Amino acid sequence: MRGIIPPYLLSKLADDGAEQYPVAAAAARKTLAVGRPPFRHRGQIDLSVDDTGSLVIELTDAPNRTIFDAQNARSLPGLIVREEGEEPTADETVNAAYDGLGATYDLLLAAFERNSLDGAGAALHATVHYGEDYDNAFWDGERMVFGDGDGEVFSGFANSVSVIGHELAHGVIQHTANLVYRNQSGALNESISDVFGALTEQYLAEQTADAASWLIGSEIFTDAVQGVALRNMLEPGTAYHDDVLGTDPQPGHMRDFVTMTEDNGGVHVNSGIPNRAFALLALDLGGFAWERAGVIWYHALTGTLSATATFTEFADATVSAAQAEYGNASEEVRAVERAWRAVGVYDEPERRDPAAE
């Protein structure tokens, strides 16, 4: 089950939360039971034919957003409630989704010169109010889908820009390396999505790396939960420590790598390792994280990365991207290597040169 909330967290809430969080426990059971719609595969570009029979491909440098309302049903896409350029509605969830899509689009274009998720101006669609007490948000291959949460543990997911940026990043990954959603490549899929989510939030707020929280989903827990966010990229394993939800299981170093069959081999757990590598790199380089650290990660993703890439293979791709962008002996290359050594993906003290291997 793909979504911002890992299945192990929903299972923990469903199994152990009935006494403290009765509404949320029931919502978690229902969310797990209904799952989510099948993943949809979009084409790289949308083609049309004009009145003369000529093929038309439209590329724009502005977002094309449409927000739908599922009206608490589980059928997609729902009713259109706001389209590009229209004034805000009375529904703040609709407006939050609209703004979050725009913020992600702006980051992609400004930082990476990428025109929407597919690089070719794809329309951005989102559905809000999906299901009843639905405890998740996900990218279904064509659109963002937001549940409203149960109100007891999870609140509305559309209110978190980092969640929106994260889920839309799955669309970018789908159109580039298309990382297999299992084991280390799946953890990279989740981690790179967290990177985009954090960068979207930081770009919107004009935050430097040292001023950023590095939290993913800081808005989705209610005040009843003992925790600050779903994940902490800089300090994995510290996002929450709750009587019912337990302790954030993310490791921040390869020595603590978790081998598991649940969660597609721990994709939401082991993503903490590359998450910390990126945050450390951004802090090492200083300034705005999307300007150098983000560019390196983006070029590694959009280069020749294998769909089944391991952490080491992705690390090598980031070193190569830094070399190509900034030069073999640059401070950026040295900072990338330091970051991967700090999380145990690289264990040798001397600089790696993937091109020489």
Write the DSSP assignment of 1-19 as a string of letters: --SSS-HHHHHHHHHH-TT
The catalytic position among 129, 166, 175, 268 is 268
Q: Which residues partner with 83 through β-bridges?
A: 66
268 is catalytic: yes
Which two three-digit tokens encode residue 32?
């797990």
Q: List 126's β-bridge partners, or say none.
A: 67, 144
Q: How far apart are CA 232 and CA 143, in angstroms?
A: 26
**Alpha-carbon distance 273 to 170, whole Å?**
18
How many angstroms separate the Cα of 309 from the Cα of each of 75, 98, 177, 182, 317? 34, 33, 9, 11, 10
Assess whether 241 carries a catalytic annotation: no
Burial of 110 (0-12, 13-18, 19+ CB in 10 A): exposed
167, 190, 201, 332: the catalytic one is: 167
Provide the token pair at 159. 């209110």
- The token pair at 152 is 């007891």
Q: What secondary structure, in 3-state letters, does 53-76 show?
A: CCEECCCCCCCCEEEEECCCCCCC
Catalytic positions, written as ranges: 167, 268
